[in-house]
Structure formats: structure tokens, C-alpha cells
Structure 1
């Protein structure tokens, strides 16, 4: 998940003694130095204190190899930070009396189904937003990661085939798929697509004039950042930075979970709305104060991940999910925040209500150590703490995580038992179907086995034998995460099913290969 460029000298010297709400005096230089050291492409930061923007600026380049620089109007893909905007769109409908947070979803989408009929009857609008449905982490994400042929309605229809991992409302597990349902609900209630409703009722009235909710609109804007990632190493995150195809984004069916693009100026406008509890600078309201506070109200307790000693102060005492926001404590303060990541871009948005401070950091690369370092640097600045070199500590953590992944893969590659395969390669070929994803086709060619995920354009590649009846998928598109493919055989050597899992131990959870349960389509043999 990236840094900054030098501010004009006049900004740095505007006041001899910075006020408490001013950004750190050396922020521009530190971010630019970090950007260069990490090798990140560009970064954009917005900081708001109350109703005033104290920083809206960009550094670095929109696209490696191009001269165009990032500025306060450059669009960045903001990923799951957009969940809060989908929640706000629903809040507008709640204010209008058109829906209620605790309405059953089927009151508004009569054809909607979950796997369990009881859950279908009970699941509410609120449940769509808080990750307690019983689905597993990232379950169903392959329906829009990395791209798809499916419409949003088709995707919502296929939710019925996702087998739950836990009981309804018994546990927290982050998902994206139910935000697609929330987007479909907006369309069912208003007759307008999520994209149109968000643009006309949230972005433009909220003063977010650069922002886009639709990819084709974004592609028409010259001042936009391109995604970047490191793909040439043994796992994603290692190797030199390279430009990605900007059209290989999150499928538009999943856009309500994270399909918005905003500039620093847009983020500043959004943060002002948050600090004003839905109020606008012109005295009008985007949504009521009641709904603003409702969206910050914790609903589901989240597990807390242990951190090393160098990052210990970053471990919260409590952490919970609200409506499109995470809520936790940090140094005795309540923090309302959310991260976002789509291929080649990452974002962090934070609101500190009792300090009347909010800020956002956006990168057009996947350098998450840098993003987290800047996030905690700014938090500590506004909370008056200075006992950690967060930039170094988080970057060290990120690099250590990547090196751990490299070591794991290196050991695994040396370990396979070179036995098998049990069958002639042609006998593995066939059409295999998962109820929620659709069809995956394995074909036998003179060059070996190939694989094609038919619901995902260009998600094709070759199968290289690994061991026993397991193969490794090597995709033609290097941005697609490799996976193991294991064929199950009956006593007569007939393929009865196929299971998959990501090769990398630190692969993003949205590559939910492990949730697929592929069975042969007999009439396709």
C-alpha cells in the first residue's frame, strides 16, 4: 500500500511557529525522501482540521515513464475506503424513509437469496455492511477479482451458492460481496445504478468535483494516476516497480465495495463532511447527524492481530467494525478509519473526532509499509506523540514480511515429491463448475495443460506439474496470483473434483481460490 514531493517553500515557511493543526513542518521533505527510497510512483495527501483544509497536495508521478506530476486534482483509485460512501448513500435513503437499517434485505430485493433460507429471511441492510453474515474472509471475491464478465445482478444472484463458514452473526469475517448486494439494493430502491446515485447524491453535492464512480468516466480524465506494482519477483511485492493495465481493475459488479476514484481535494471535501457529521459548507446537509453517528457506531468486534515490539503502540485495545468504517483506540483516542486497496493503488482514511482532525493518504502503488508509516507519523503528530520512528518501523515490517514470503516459497520449491501425475495429461482435461463462480476449463494441448477461468476475461494460463496430482497455475497475466490446482480421483482414476489454493503465503485474501469446489461437468467431457 506510497510518499510525497516538496511543497512550495512558501507553504513550509507560512508561519514561524506552526499551530497544533498544521501538518509537520518537514512532512514534504520526509515524504519525498521516502518515496524515492521505496521507489513508489506517486502519493497524494489531504488533511483537514474542522472546516479548513490544511493540506491538499500530490507528489511524484501519475505514471512511471511519463512526465505528468501528481497534484491535488489527480484521481487515485481508493479501494475499500469507498465502503463508507456506499454506507452514506444508504444513510441518505434512511433519512428519506425509503429504507431502514434493520429492514430485511428481501423487503427491497425480493429475489435475493443467501445459502441458508433462514438467513435469507433475517439478513438486514445493516448486516450487508458489517461482515457478520457467516461468509468467510473474502469469500466470493473471484467474481470480480481481477475482472469479470458478470453483471452486478448476476453476482448478487450467485451469493445464494456461497456456503457459510460460520453461523449467521456469530463471527467477524471481512467480505466485499455483500457490498455488491448493497449497491444492487440502491438500484432496486431508487431505479438508479449505484454509480449514478453515488455521483448525483453524494459526490457532486458533497463538493467532490474530480471524483468518479464509473471507470469509463475516469478513463476520460487526463489527470488520473495509473496503478503500479512489483510483479517480477518470486511473489507480488518483490522486484522493480512496473505500470499495470489500468483497465484490469476491480470488476464493476463489485464497485460498491471499492470502485471510487478521488483526488486530494475530493478527500478533503469528504473529510469535512465526516467531521461535520453530514453537514456541508453551505449550511445544507448531505445526511443527518443521526445517521452520521450511526455509521460510526461499532457493531461487530474485530480480532486484534499481534504486532512486533517495534510496532506495539499501534496495537489497539479494542477494534470493531461499524457501517463502512473501522473503530478503534490509539493512545487513548477514538480513531475512525478504513484502508483500501485495488490492484496497484492503496489508500488510508482516518478521522480523529475529539481532535477535529481527519486525513487521507493515497498511493498509486502497493507499498503498504510506506502508507502505514505515513499514517502513524501523522497520527502521532496530531496526538502529540513522538516516541516511534513509524516510517522506518513499518517499512522494516513490510520488507520482513516480503522476505518471509520469499523464504517460504524458496523452501517449498525445494520440497515437492516428484511423484505423478497419476494420469495421462489428457485425462485431466474437462469443464469443471463451481456453483457460485461458474466454469473453469482445463484443456490438453501439445504443449501441455491449459486453464481458463471463463467468467474472468483473460484469466488464462498453463498448468505445470507440481507433485502427485497437483499442478501450479502460471497465468499469462503476471498480475494474477498463481495457485495450486489439485485433482481428486476415484478408485478407477476418474477426476471427481478440483480444489485450489494460492501459492503465496501472503497472497491477498481476495484471491479466494480455496473457496472454489469445482466438479466435472459430465456432458462437457
Structure 2
């Protein structure tokens, strides 16, 4: 690979998107190439290096799922046993879900439990408290009915199962079962365990002219731990990815999970209603992508100012990670990854589909409000076109100097899928699925992996 050319192109893209730094790691045939470009912090101007530690965000879910599969290998846990086998007091509003939800539902985001866990605090009992707080949590959708991404709750329940089985806290489990055996030196799950002399600082952006500013929130709350709080380096992330390329073995030869566990994680899949932005299926702690006929496994992650990407290409023996302390922008990561993939002679990321102007849709079937806690989407027909209005979180609107309501036009790709282009230079085109027609009206809106049921439906 022409590292010099890729570094130069990465520098150009960082400047174009006003992202302070990026670290890139490429694992191919067991060999790692890594490099970093930019600065860790716009205030201190300290350079990013290959030892810089970034926040992985939701890529953490892949780490947590991998550790859970160790317990499955050991016969201490099972994917399809009820959660209540391990947590007898587990309860949500729906009695059937309380009795029937399994770890598999949690790992593939089909449990449908509303993320209504309040403030569980920052103590060592955080995941136990989260479970206590969801005793009255309703269903966003019936158990197993559709995919709907759970940012924190689903994997927090998995973590609590792990704690009860293993007898230690989730953070210690991750350290002793994964970080240590993998030989990682820059990976941890608690902010206080991060070497601040190596840590990247998160950045947000209000405008390209102003450029990035330091994020007001240094780390996500501890409730996000199993779903979003791993910190790591590009090389350490690839050490984890190596397990999927080598049938469960680490690069040091140590077996982390069985080959059967890797097959289960990659082949136990559910369909994703919006298949275009990330991938058409979701496995256990992994997104399943289809790149021109080649199956690729992935997971992304975002915190408040840092972003992570992981792509694993088993057929090509390649894994690539991209860690940044600014963004996120899908177009940025796609350009960087495609530069690397093309240089390696590998398959590249497909483009989004084109709108189909010949479609003749009954626009009234899509109209209505769709919402979940913290998000509301209003779809209405206007002049023969569909428009979507997003109610932006007020705090996010203030920090980023954005209006609290933003309207987009929806361009149909099919009867259930739409493109949502933006006039904002800081936003990329997104994709939306509106589906589940009941009595002529759609029941769900799915975007950015999250499912939003029709309000009052």
C-alpha cells in the first residue's frame, strides 16, 4: 500500500471536513500498517500519533458481544435462554417480553424495549440500577418484530448478565477476558483509566468557517459503558478484529473464542429495515454489509466529538479501522476507506441508490408523526412530495447553533425506502425506511439504525 499517498489524501480530507485528526490501521494477512495525521486537541496543537487513544463509541458493542460469547463457549450463558434465567427479577412493562426476551434479542437489537432507564448514576452498580429503572419501560415494537438500535440499554442488560455470571463488574470482565489476553496496551473502558498524555480530545463543528471546537462533554455517561465506552488505538482495535479473521484466535496465538462463536456472531442475522446507510443485516455485535456481492462485517461508533469505524473483509483477509476526534461524516469515512480499499485492490463501498422518479406512491400512507424518547419525525405531503421535519434535541441545537426544527425532502427509492438529502454543508445525504403498513398507514420510520413507531399507533 502506498502509505505516503494515503497519508497525503487523508490530510486533504481532514482539512476539507475540518476534522482535527485521524488514526488509520490496516490489517492484511496478519500484518498491521498504521499511521496518524493531524492534532489531538485544537487548543494544545499536540500531534496525533499511532499511540493516540480515541473513543470507540458504539464499536464497544463488538467488544462486549465477543466477551459474552466467551461465557457461551464456557457453557455459562446461552443466547436463547430467557434473560430471567440469569436475572430472575428482570421486568419491563410487557409481561411477555419480561419472560421471553433473550440475550440474542439484546445483541441483535430486536428486543424493542424503550430506553427509559432514567439516571442510574456513575457507581459500580450502574447496570443493576438501569435494570431496576426499566421495570415500567414500554415496548417501542413487539419482541423480535423489527430491528431497532439500542444505544445503551440492550448491551447494559447483557453486561449485567455477565456480571452476575462472572461475579465481577463489566469493566473488570473486559480487562481480564479481552484486553489482557489480546495483549492490548492502549485499551480501557473507564475514562479514569485512559492515559491522558495519549488521549485524543473530542471536537464538534458549527460551521466550516469557524472550524472545530472542543466538545463540552468529555466522555459519555457510565450507563453507555458496554455499548459505547471503550477507548482504544487503531492497532488495538485491529487486534480485536484479528479474532474474526482467524477463527477466534488472537494474533499472539491465544484463543479468545471458539470458531463456532465467531460463526454465530457473524451468521446469526436479522434484516435491517433501512439497508442502505450501514448494511442490510445485523448480526451479534456486528453489522453485515454487502459490497458488490462480498460480505463485510462492520461496526461504527460515535461519542460527543469522536468517531470510530471498523470494516472486516474475511474473504480478502483485511480489516481496516478509522478513528477520528471530529465529525461524524459518512462521506469523509467513505472517501478515506475507499482510498485504502482501492489501493489494496479490494472491493469498495457501494454508493447510495438513486431515486426512482417513476414511483407512484400514496403519500397519505406515510404521513404522520413517528417518535421515541428524544426523537420526533413528522412526515407530511406537500405539493406531491413527501417532507420530513426533524425535531432537534434542544441542547444539541444550542451547542451547534442549529434550529430546533429542520425539514428535508424525501426522495423515494422504493415503496419503503427514501433518500433524505440536505442543503447543509455539514450534513450528508441520509436514508430512511418507512414501513410496516397497517390499515393503509405506515407504522415505523427507521433511520440511522433507530426505529421510531408511529405516534399514537
* TM-score range relative to shorter protein: 0.7 to 0.9
Question: Per the alignment, do residues 142 and 481 of structure 1 end up closer, same or farther by CA in structure 2, a change over 3 Å counting?
Answer: farther
Residues 226, 246 of structure 1: 8 Å contact kept: no
**Equivalent of 2:178 in 202, 205, 225:** 202
Give runs of aligned pairs for residues 232-381 of structure 1, distance below 5 A: 239-245=210-216, 247=218, 249-304=219-274, 319-368=280-329, 369-381=331-343
Q: Per-residue CA shift, 1:433-491, capped at 9, x if unaligned?
A: xxx99xxxxxxxxxxxxxxxxxxxxxxxxxxxxxxxx9x9568973699868xxxxxxx
Residues 117, 133 of structure 2: 8 Å contact kept: no
Give runs of aligned pairs for residues 212-231 of structure 1, distance below 5 A: 212-218=188-194, 220-231=195-206
CA-atom RMSD in angstroms: 3.6
> Deviation of residue 512 (structure 1)?
11
Report how many aligned residue pairs link the two structures. 380
Question: Aligned partners of 1:322, 1:510: CA distance in 2, in Å?
Answer: 13
Alignment correspondent of 1:494? none
Alignment correspondent of 1:18? none
Residue 50 (str. 1) matches residue 29 (str. 2): yes
Aligned partner of residue 26 in structure 1, secondary structure: helix
Question: Aligned partners of 2:259, 2:347: CA distance in 1, in Å?
Answer: 31
Alignment correspondent of 1:453? none
Pair member with larger Rg: 1
Alignment correspondent of 1:30? 9
Alignment correspondent of 1:423? none
TM-score (norm 1): 0.65
Question: Per the alignment, do residues 509 and 48 of structure 1 end up closer, same or farther by CA in structure 2, a change over 3 Å counting?
Answer: closer
Question: Per the alignment, do residues 43 and 515 of structure 1 end up closer, same or farther by CA in structure 2, a change over 3 Å counting?
Answer: farther
Question: Per the alignment, do residues 201 and 476 of structure 1 end up closer, same or farther by CA in structure 2, a change over 3 Å counting?
Answer: same
Question: Aligned partners of 1:511, 1:127: CA distance in 2, in Å?
Answer: 15
For structure 1, list consecutive stretches of 5 or more residues without a partner in the other structure: 1-21, 308-314, 398-435, 438-469, 485-503, 518-525
Alignment correspondent of 2:43? 65
Aligned partner of residue 399 in structure 2, secondary structure: coil
Residue 478 (str. 1) matches residue 433 (str. 2): no
Q: Per-residue CA shift, 1:59-110, capped at 9, x if unaligned?
A: 1111002132111111000111110110011011111111111121111111
Question: Aligned partners of 2:313, 2:449: CA distance in 1, in Å?
Answer: 29
For structure 2, list consecutive stretches of 5 or more residues without a partner in the other structure: 355-372, 375-390, 406-423, 431-446
Question: Aligned partners of 2:41, 2:18: CA distance in 1, in Å?
Answer: 13
Q: Per-residue CA shift, 1:104-154, capped at 9, x if unaligned?
A: 111111121122111111111111111111246xx448758xx97993222
Alignment correspondent of 2:128? 153
Aligned partner of residue 135 in structure 2, secondary structure: helix
Residues 142, 513 of structure 1: 8 Å contact kept: no
Question: Aligned partners of 2:227, 2:450: CA distance in 1, in Å?
Answer: 15
Question: Per the alignment, do residues 187 and 306 of structure 1 end up closer, same or farther by CA in structure 2, a change over 3 Å counting?
Answer: closer
Q: Per-residue CA shift, 1:185-242, capped at 9, x if unaligned?
A: 1111112111111011101211221111111111x431110000014x6xxx995310
Question: Per the alignment, do residues 245 and 289 of structure 1 end up closer, same or farther by CA in structure 2, a change over 3 Å counting?
Answer: same
Q: Per-residue CA shift, 1:372-393, capped at 9, x if unaligned?
A: 321233334445468x9x9xx9
Question: Aligned partners of 1:265, 1:363: CA distance in 2, in Å?
Answer: 14
Q: Which moved more, 1:282-291 or 1:69-78?
A: 282-291
Residue 74 (str. 1) matches residue 49 (str. 2): no
Alignment correspondent of 1:187? 163
Give runs of aligned pairs for residues 76-225 of structure 1, distance below 5 A: 76-135=54-113, 139-140=115-116, 151-176=126-151, 177-218=153-194, 220-225=195-200
Question: Aligned partners of 2:2, 2:45: CA distance in 1, in Å?
Answer: 27
Residues 208, 270 of structure 1: 8 Å contact kept: no
Question: Aligned partners of 2:141, 2:302: CA distance in 1, in Å?
Answer: 26
Alignment correspondent of 1:429? none
